[in-house]
Structure 1
Amino acid sequence: MSPLSALLWLIAGGAAFAYWNAARAAAERAGTLGRNACKAAGVIWLDQSVHANGLRLSRGEDGWLGFERSFRFEYSYDGIDRHVGRLVLRKGKLVSFVGPVAPSVTPINPD
């Protein structure tokens, strides 16, 4: 094996490791966000996991290209029904969320 091909293999391995590491960090962040949202809304977080279901290139607020990762998770209000929540992360920041929300009461002002 020539030094050039060894160097190319090393670069490819480093890039693969960086991609894998970023994907794991995003999945852990998505799990934390999903778990916290379910806890705040008072619902049951089912399966204790999130599932990656999308990856695309996206331009961030700083103008640089980066990955936008989509995840889904499931939750239940009573342990019988199942609902799907979705969240999207860009550079580790939450940019979209669809899922359980904390119940709130809006007072009605009779005017």
Structure 2
Amino acid sequence: MSDLIFVMIVGAAAFAWWSAARAAAERAESIGREACRLAGVQWLDQTVHASGLRLRRRDDGRLGFERSFRFEYSEDGVERSVGRLVLRGDELVAFVGPVGGEQVVQALR
């Protein structure tokens, strides 16, 4: 019986981890897409790519995950540029991307 409980706890933790990672990726995708739209550039590949994960203290002092993402955009349809954003929980804490996309960052902070 205790083995079953252990397996259920591990399964629940794995699902919670996956769900939080998916939610962060969806939020990063939304931010990247909106930043590119406001900057008038083409958002390439229609996705973001996870590029880092760190444990960081949140503003309330508790430990949480800080996830980094990258995305690609093009100003002229030929050259690819890389944008980066960092989420701590669902809060945007850093953004590097297309000029004009900073408006989105200010609106989402």
Tell me the equivalent position of 1:61. 59
Superposition CA RMSD, Å? 1.0
How many pairs does the alignment contain? Answer: 101
Tell me the equivalent position of 2:104. none
Deviation for aligned residue 1:102 = 1.4
Greater Cα radius of gyration, structure 1 or 2: 1
Tell me the equivalent position of 1:26. 24
Tell me the equivalent position of 2:36. 38
Please give the alpha-carbon distance, in whole angstroms, between the structure 2 residues aligned to 1:84 and 1:14.
35
Structure 2 counterparts to residues 1-111 of structure 1, below 5 A: 3-102=1-100
Amino acid at match of 2:13: A
Higher helix fraction (1 or 2): 2
Following TM superposition, where does structure 1 have runs of at least 4 consecutive aligned residues deviating by more than 6 angstroms?
A: none
TM-score by length of 1: 0.89
Query: Structure 1: 5+ residue runs without aligned partners?
Result: 104-111
TM-score by length of 2: 0.91
Deviation for aligned residue 1:101 = 2.1
Amino acid at match of 2:65: F
| Cα shift readout 1:4-56 (whole Å, capped 9, x = no counterpart) | 11101000000000000000000000000000000000000000000001011
Q: Relative contact order, CA 8 A, sep 6+: which one is greater?
A: 2
Identity, % of aligned positions: 65
Please give the alpha-carbon distance, in whole angstroms, between the structure 1 residues aligned to 2:56 and 2:79.
34
